[in-house]
Amino acid sequence: MRGISVMILMTLSFALAQPITITYWQYEFRSKVEAIDELIRRFQEQNPGIRVVHQTFPYDAFQQKVATSIPAGQGPDVVNLYYGWTPTWVRAGYLVPLPEEWARRVEREFVPMVRAAIVEGQLFGVPTAVRSLALFYNQDLFRRNGIATPPRTWEEFLAVGSRLTLRQGNRFTQIGYGVAPDGQDHHLVREVLVRQFGGQPYSEDGRRVLYNSPAGLQAFSFYTDWVRRHAIGVPGFFPGNNGYRDGFIAGRIGMIIDGSFAIGTIRQGARFNLGVAELPRDPNGPRANFGSFWLHGLTPLATGPKREAALRFLEFITSEEAQRYWLEKVGELPASRRLIQDPALLRDPIYGPFIASLAYATATPFVDETAQRRVMVDAINRVLLQNVDPAQSLRLAAEEEQRILDRFWGR
């Protein structure tokens, strides 16, 4: 009897002594890779029984990589994904829900936008960092044209935009605002302008499209008029992936509205003094901003002891300590409510305007980010490229998007 129990004990302790290996996937971006490597190092120090394998892939084909690997059983246990992909991934079985307490932790400790990681009452991931939008402007270009401060209201914005636009016939050599429907502008219309004009893009449960309202139409036409009436910019000014950012870096665009994730790239390339300001708004009207984030989720491959290990790892990389390290190393804003109240951050000339918006930034509850994105981009392009009446274009978009939502939730 004793002999057998000793043997069992030995086998058990031997099995426990084997490190549990979990795999973490994210897309390749140098500072993020280095940050995760460091966090893994610290985690493994504190958790000698767990080994974390870190693998990275090109951003352009990241979803494809995940889509192919998990069904074959050889893929990540913890995966980094854009929050907007969550419902699609959940429906197709690529993510498993996190324990109940985590959802409560998110509600308590994280900025409001993170609630978008909750799908049908269950939480599917937690972020380390979050992002929002702000107005980037070229201080030197402003100064050269006698503009002292960044625009606070939309009227000022239009005035500045017109002043900075130079054209010969239909060809522009410099524009005031980098119009980019397929960049951040579709987010701008949906989450910021519609709300600022008093409307609401979607219903509370995210299942109905509400931007086809008088307020929504006002917001939409206001945006399309930037090109059609005020000519403060033109889409596709600079070709390429996110050409609006490139044009801004090249000093040919006075202002762009971009996410905080672009700070590094812009600083690296810009040969002028960079300024960042909060999005223009009517001083008496509602504040609005589009927030987004990349979250870390759990895949169905993390079973048994791997699940415990993965959850522990998840908790570690979303802790406040990790978020502080992430801000310093990668330059992305922390997701924790407490951390964003740091006065030093609020005073920072570049980060400040973003931080201020995190308290009220909302994240669109996408169910099929690719299709819904296309709906809004097409709505804008129909007006700008084919001269379709904004009311008609917006109506078409609302109908199309409602069909997408219905198909998803109806299943």
Partner 1 sequence: MQLSLRGREVLWASIFLAIPLAFFLYFRILPAFQALYLSLYDWHVDPSQRRFVGLEHYERLWEDPLMRRALSNTLLYSLLGVPLQIALGLVLALLLQRVPVARDFFRAVYFAPYVTPVVAVAWVWSWMLSPHFGLVNELLVFLGIPPQPFLQSPSQALPTVTWVVVWQNLGFQVVLFLAGLQSIPRQYYEAARIDGAEGWRLFRHITWPLLNPVLVFSVVIGTIGYLQLFTQVVNLNFTDQGGPLNSTLTLALYIYQTAFLRFDLGYAAAITVVLFVLILAITLFQLKFLTRRIEV
Partner 2 sequence: MRWRQRLGDLLTLFLLALGGVVMVLPFLWMVLTSLKPFPEIFELHFLPREPTLENYEEILFRTGFLRWFVNSLLVAAITTLSVLFFDSLAGYTLARLRFPGRNLVFILILSTLMVPTEMLVIPWYVMSAERGWINTYWGLLFPGLITAFGVFLMRQFFQTLPQDLFDAGRIDGLSEFGIFWRIGLPLVRPALAALGIFTFLGNWNAFLWPLIVVQTPEMRTLPVGIALFSGEAGTAWHLIMAASSLAVLPVLLVFIFFQRQIIEGVVLTGLKG
Give the interface with partner 1 as residue ranges (CB under 8 A): 61, 63-64, 67-68, 70-71, 88-89, 91-94, 170-173, 181-183, 234-243, 300, 368-371, 374, 377-378, 381-382, 385-386
Q: Which residues pair with 321 in a beta bridge?
A: none
CB 274 within 8 A of CB 348: no
Q: How far is the CB of 246 from partner 1 (least distance, A)?
A: 11
For residue 145, give Cα distances in angstroms to 154, 164, 233, 254: 19, 7, 17, 10
Token code pair at residue 359: 């308290």
* Per CB under 8 A, 247 contacts partner 2: yes
Q: Give all strands (DSSP E) within 60-177, no chain letters.
A: 78-82, 118-119, 122-123, 125-131, 133-138, 166-168, 171-177
C-alpha to C-alpha distance for 301 and 303, rounded to whole angstroms: 6
* Per CB under 8 A, 291 contacts partner 2: no
C-alpha to C-alpha distance for 269 and 373, rounded to whole angstroms: 28
C-alpha to C-alpha distance for 273 and 11, rounded to whole angstroms: 65
SS3 content of the chain, % helix, strand, coil (to 5): 50, 20, 30
- Measured from the CB atom, the residue of 7 and 166 that comes closer to partner 1 is 166
Q: What is the residue type of 341?
A: Q
C-alpha to C-alpha distance for 411 and 407, rounded to whole angstroms: 6
The DSSP line for 231-291 is ----TTSS-STTHHHHHHHTT-EEEEEEEGGGHHHHHHH--S-EEEEPPP--TTS----B-
One of 268, 284, 386, 387 touching partner 2 (CB under 8 A): 268
One of 73, 121, 169, 410 touching partner 2 (CB under 8 A): 73
- Measured from the CB atom, the residue of 31 and 149 that comes closer to partner 2 is 31
What x/- string results for residues 33 through 62 when contact with partner 2 is judged by CB under 8 A?
----------------------xxxxxxx-
Choose the contact partner of 271 out of partner 1, partner 2, none; CB within 5 to 8 A by kind: partner 2
One of 22, 40, 63, 65 touching partner 2 (CB under 8 A): 65
Residue bearing tokens 């549990």: 20
What string of H, E and C letters represents the secondary structure of 189-207?
HHHHHHHHCCCCCECCCCC
Q: How far is the CB of 285 from partner 2 (least distance, A)?
A: 31
* Per CB under 8 A, 72 contacts partner 2: yes
* Per CB under 8 A, 171 contacts partner 2: no
- Measured from the CB atom, the residue of 246 and 378 that comes closer to partner 2 is 246
- Report DSSP state, residue 96: B
Choose the contact partner of 149 out of partner 2, partner 1, none; CB within 5 to 8 A by kind: none
Q: How far is the CB of 388 from partner 2 (least distance, A)?
A: 30
What x/- string results for residues 325 through 364 when contact with partner 2 is judged by CB under 8 A?
----------------------------------------
Q: How far is the CB of 346 from partner 1 (least distance, A)?
A: 32
What x/- string results for residues 200 through 239 when contact with partner 2 is judged by CB under 8 A?
--------------------------------------x-
Axis crossing angle, helix 30-46 with helix 320-330, rounded to the nearest 10: 150
Choose the contact partner of 29 out of partner 1, partner 2, none; CB within 5 to 8 A by kind: partner 2
Choose the contact partner of 311 out of partner 2, partner 1, none; CB within 5 to 8 A by kind: none
- At 171, give phi and psi (nearest 5°): -105, 125
Q: How far is the CB of 242 from partner 2 (least distance, A)?
A: 7
Q: Which residues contact partner 2 (rule: CB under 8 A)?
A: 27-29, 55-61, 64-65, 67-69, 71-74, 238, 240-242, 245-247, 249-250, 252, 261-262, 264-265, 268-271
